Amino acid sequence: MKSLLLTRRSRRNRRNQAIRDLVQETSLQVTDLIQPLFVVDGNGGPEDVVSMPGVSRYCVADLVNQCETIASLGIPAVAIFPKLDASLKDETGSHALEGNSLLYRAVRAVKKAVPELLVITDVALDPYTSHGHDGVLSADGSKIANDESVALLARLAVMEAEAGADWVAPSDMMDGRVEAIREALDAAGFPDTGILAYSAKFASAYYGPFREAVGSLQAAGTAHLDKRTYQLNPANGREAILDALLDEEEGADVLMVKPAGPYLDVIRDLREQTLLPIAAYQVSGEYAQIHAAARLGWLDLEKTRDESLLAIKRAGADMILTYFAADLARAWAE
């Protein structure tokens, strides 16, 4: 057969691994990863999160051990989420402001043992409220009270900084909370504490396993708690960019898109609108569905994991919160 007379043969740049490595446009590094971790009170062994294979809740001592391992793998940061006993929850999330609560003890222990590890703490009330919402209810219980919630969140952020958090991460989606937190941190003597804002957080169906992990679905009585009055409509990409840019104006140091995989277009659009670093959270449902399909033999776990994370990085994320972080770092270290 006569060869085609082609000036451009794209396959030349795919011919072998050496060439493919040289022309690769996007790369994923261990230093791009943030490992989310769950902490519980007590001294018992790890508690498996059933809907998230390979993910556990750790007591403070075991959490410290995990953080030491994570740091040794080269992962630069962890995000810590507490699971509280139901007896400590109430409608106002008052235990969030208890100075010796689980989260603060965990942060102090981790920073003492692994001071070089960047510790990120969640600024939201859903782990602490009996209703499972990220803010407090209005007097008549009909809605989430924005301004009252923001006042509490600013106090929570300061207490997290006092415990040693390097970055505080407001995930509540209340209006004006980034500015209030920045002002509160500065006034309290924490001008160097960063704010990683959950700037484009959607009212997503992908959060169910996380709510099991922190116990907020039990508090609310359902895994499908309706948070649409404050989290973003999944249909609205432009609104997501608007919210993110408002957070930038209010003093956020890093902007986050959550979930990551279903919202790659939002990551890309935000990348074109800001010079700030962008974080993306590959959430519990994304992680769980990859594991579930792999267990059924429908997908290759490692290849799907790696492709999903590479896609998030390619879309424009500078850092990725993922439950795969430690596993991926171990795989790269082998």
Question: Global pTM?
Answer: 0.95
Angle at 83 between CA 80 and CA 85, to 5 degrees: 150
Across residues 54-79, what is the average pLDDT? 98
Q: Which of 19-23, 127-131, 220-224, 268-272 has the lowest mean pLDDT?
A: 220-224
Instruction: Find all residues with CB under 8 Å of 212, minimum gap 6, and list them.
Output: 49, 50, 51, 52, 218, 223
If one compares 325 and 140, the residue with the highest pLDDT of the two is 325
pLDDT at residue 51, as a whole number: 94
Picking from 329, 275, 316, 317, the residue whose alpha carbon sits closest to that of residue 76 is 329
Strand partners, 103: none
As a whole number of angstroms, the distance between CA 143 and CA 149 comes to: 11
Question: Looking at residue 223, what is its pLDDT?
Answer: 47
- Tokens representing 202 are 């959607």
pLDDT of 45: 86
Average pLDDT, the chain: 95
pLDDT number for residue 224: 54
SS3 category, 278: strand
The SS3 of residue 282 is strand
* Ordered domains of the chain (ranges, CATH): 29-333 (3.20.20.70)
pLDDT in tens, 193-237: 999 999 999 999 999 888 888 876 554 445 457 899 999 999 999
Q: Are 201 and 278 in contact (CB under 8 A)?
A: no
Q: What percent of the chain has pLDDT above 90? A: 91
Q: What is the pLDDT of residue 240?
A: 98
Burial 209-227 (b: 16+ CB within 10 A, else e): bbbbbbbbbebbeebebeb
Average pLDDT (14-41) is 97
pLDDT value at residue 217: 58
Residues 164-193 have pLDDT tens digits of 999 999 999 999 999 999 999 999 999 999
Give helix then strand counts, H and E, for the chain. 12, 10
Q: How far is CA 260 from CA 108, 237, 290, in A?
A: 30, 13, 14
pLDDT at residue number 226? 87
Q: 80-113: per-residue pLDDT in tens?
A: 999 999 999 999 999 999 999 999 999 999 999 9
Task: Indicate the range of 212-216, 263-267, 312-316 predicted with least confidence.
Answer: 212-216
Residue 96, burial from CB neighbour count under 10 angstroms (0-12, 13-18, 19+): buried
Closest listed residue to residue 36, CA positions, set 268, 254, 279: 279
What are the catalytic residues? Answer: 201, 258
